[in-house]
Amino acid sequence: MIKSSPVTYAVVKDFEVSSCAGENAEALWKSCLEKQTHIGEDGFGNLINKHYQKKGDPKSPLIHCIQNILNNQGVKPEDSSIGVILATTTGYTATWEHLLLDYLGDDETTETSFNLKEVFSKEPLGYLLEEVKEALSIKGPSAVISTACSASTHSIGLAQQWIKLKKVQKCLVITVELLCLLTKEGFNSFNLLDKTSCKPFDKSRTGINLSEAVGCIYIEGQESIKENEIQIAGFGATTDIHQMTTPDPEGKGTALSMQMAISSANLESQDIDLIHTHGTASYFNDLAESMAIKTIWSKENHPPFISTKGVHGHTLGSSGLLESCILFKAMENGIIPPTTGFNDFDEELGVKPLSTSIEKDINCVLKNTLGFGGANASLVFKKGS
């Protein structure tokens, strides 16, 4: 008789995130419940983290975030069964872009030539991961994923695959995004930035708030799942081939990504208790996601959906991880937080997000993200019963 190998669950054992809404996930969660925005008067959200002392340098806050989780869990990082996946779009960009800007704007001098070495050592995204691994003596498998705003969603999905394959027994998914000239001026050139706090799914939405985050989710493989433990149950991903910076307005790609995540979790669409959308408050993002929700469910009968970007802004590649942390808090507390910034129903979208918090037993949730380059990624988290 062939003995089948036991199912391995990818269980979320710990998580932490710093953002403009505070040092930790608890502060972020509290702000979500209180509908308190942390977007500054310039329309950006700046990282609050006591270890973030050198502007633009992601290393220290990231290492401290990981170290805290490893200490809390009593995990030795040098154990080769621990994998690490970094999700980032910008990495060290804020530290080297000005050096390159000076170099390209001026005549080359000995000093700028020296600085160019600094630029090219830090420009590859892999450099940051090498630094983290060295600082914490992490020896296991590693990867850096940079699929724009879906990066950490893809990273959590890949971590689930690694656990399922028993490539690793434990996995750290880490992320950092810091504001830099490239992203601030770049998004501004598309007229995508809202100078006030953003209004996801609102009729008068005018754009996004860029912001900063650093975070870590610690996942372990288990052969059984205990009550209230949260597992990464499903992962889906697709690519829109519409335009580089706008999703397919019919939302076909993101709908398919969500459906993949639901079916890979062996669930039906009606099993989903809550959708945390990407909800950036850009015209096309919210349109595409609304269309996708109507495609999978219906205009009248869909699970409650929210966006929390009105609180913490859009943290680009970190958004999937940061917003997953909000979902873990929601599942732990049995409360769906409201959509901060939403006021007026948009008939064109035909669906509206939850605007006040509700108490509800939440067992299965869907996290959705979309990214430049058409990168759609979705996750399903399920609570053990």
Partner 1 sequence: MNNEPIYIYAAGVSNSERALKLKSSDRSLRKASFEMILGYDCLKSISSEINTLKEELKPTEISFVCGSSHGSLYATKDFLSGFAKIKRARPFLFQNSLHNSITGFLCQKFELKGPSLTLSLGEQTGENCIDTAMDLLNSSFARACVLLAADGLVEEFKETLQSYVKGFDLKEGAGALILSKEESIGNLSPICSISLSSIQAEEVKTRSPYYDSDCIESIAHLIEEKKNTLVRTAPNKTKTTVNLTYL
Mind telling me the catalytic residues? 149, 278, 314
Residue 335 sits in the site that holds partner 1 (CB under 8 A):
no
**Strands 230-239, 274-276: pairing kind:** unpaired
What are the angstrom distances between the C-alpha of 337 and each of 107, 309, 321? 54, 12, 17
Site string for partner 1, 165-204 (x = CB under 8 A): xxx-------------xx--xxxxxx--------------
Structure tokens at 296: 């999978």
Residue 135 sits in the site that holds partner 1 (CB under 8 A):
no
Tell which one of 120, 195, 266, 298 touches partner 1 (CB under 8 A): 120
φ, ψ for residue 175, nearest 5 deg: -150, 150
Site for partner 1 in 209-248 (CB under 8 A): 235-242, 244-245
Structure tokens at 47: 């990282």
* Binding segment toward partner 1, per CB under 8 A, in 34-42, 52-60, 62-70, 155-163: 155-163
Residue 31 sits in the site that holds partner 1 (CB under 8 A):
no
The alpha-helical segments, DSSP class H, found in the chain are 25-34, 59-73, 93-105, 110-122, 126-136, 151-164, 181-189, 252-264, 283-296, 309-312, 319-333
- Per the listing, tokens 């945390």 go with 276
Structure tokens at 120: 């090219």
What are the angstrom distances between the C-alpha of 25 and each of 110, 128, 374? 45, 23, 29
Tell which one of 11, 82, 354, 375 touches partner 1 (CB under 8 A): 375
The alpha-helical segments, DSSP class H, found in 227-355 are 252-264, 283-296, 309-312, 319-333
State the CB neighbour count (10 A cutoff) for residue 141: 15
Q: Let me know the angle formed at the C-alpha of 283 by 41 and 39, rounded to the nearest 5 degrees.
A: 20
Query: CB-wise, 134 or 300, nearer to partner 1?
Result: 134
* Binding segment toward partner 1, per CB under 8 A, in 100-108, 265-273, 274-282, 352-360: 100-108
Residue 147 sits in the site that holds partner 1 (CB under 8 A):
yes
Query: CB-wise, 12 or 237, nearer to partner 1?
Result: 237
- Cα 369 to Cα 147: distance, rounded to the nearest angstrom: 11
Residue 7 sits in the site that holds partner 1 (CB under 8 A):
no
Q: Least CB distance from residue 135 to partner 1, whole Å?
A: 14
Query: Are the C-beta atoms of residues 37 and 199 closer than 8 Å to each other?
Result: no
Q: Least CB distance from residue 168 to partner 1, whole Å?
A: 11
Query: Are the C-beta atoms of residues 234 and 257 closer than 8 Å to each other?
Result: no
- Per the listing, tokens 């000005």 go with 98
Q: Which stretches of 63-128 are assigned E, i.e. beta strand?
A: 82-87
Tell me, rounded to whole angstroms, the distance of Cα 352 from its chain centroid: 22
Q: Least CB distance from residue 7 to partner 1, whole Å?
A: 13
* Binding segment toward partner 1, per CB under 8 A, in 11-19, 115-123, 279-287, 336-344: 115-123
Return the DSSP state at 190: T
Tell which one of 26, 78, 101, 249 touches partner 1 (CB under 8 A): 101
Residue 143 sits in the site that holds partner 1 (CB under 8 A):
yes
Site string for partner 1, 277-296 (x = CB under 8 A): --------------------
Helix (H, G, I), strand (E, B) or coil at 51: coil
Query: CB-wise, 83 or 310, nearer to partner 1?
Result: 83
- Applying CB under 8 A, what is the total number of residues that bind partner 1? 61
- Cα 16 to Cα 229: distance, rounded to the nearest angstrom: 16
* Binding segment toward partner 1, per CB under 8 A, in 111-119, 219-227, 295-303, 343-351: 111-119
Query: By the criterion CB under 8 A, which residues form the site for partner 1?
Result: 89, 97, 100-101, 104-105, 113, 116-117, 120, 123-127, 129-130, 141-148, 151, 154, 158, 161-162, 164-167, 181-182, 185-190, 235-242, 244-245, 253, 256, 260, 371-375, 377
